[in-house]
Amino acid sequence: MSKRYERHVESVLQAFLDLLGPQARGSLSQEHLDELQMLMESAISTAVLEQLEAVADEVSDLGVLIRRRAEKFDDTQDDAA
């Protein structure tokens, strides 16, 4: 995970802790906070990978479209000659 996303997770975790009262905050162990941070990192990583896959699919589709248009263009050039 990039430093940018790590910083985002840390800021979200801190915002969550800021919402809690002192008693609730004190009842959370460091182990629980580490687990929460790991869950948030996993969620962000999953979302980013899903978006990358979607973009990769779009690029693949665009490649197919470019190839079809190039072949069609090539066919029209053969007819013109």
- pLDDT per residue, tens digit, the chain (81 aa), is 789 989 999 999 999 999 999 999 999 999 999 999 999 999 999 999 999 999 999 999 999 999 999 988 877 776 665
Query: Does the predicted model carry a pTM greater than 0.75?
Result: no
Instruction: Give the per-residue pLDDT at 73.
Output: 83
Q: Provide the 8-state DSSP code for 27.
A: T
Quote the number of domains for the chain.
1
In angstroms, the CA 15 to CA 19 distance is 6
Structural domain containing residue 71: 3-80
Q: Are 40 and 10 in contact (CB under 8 A)?
A: no
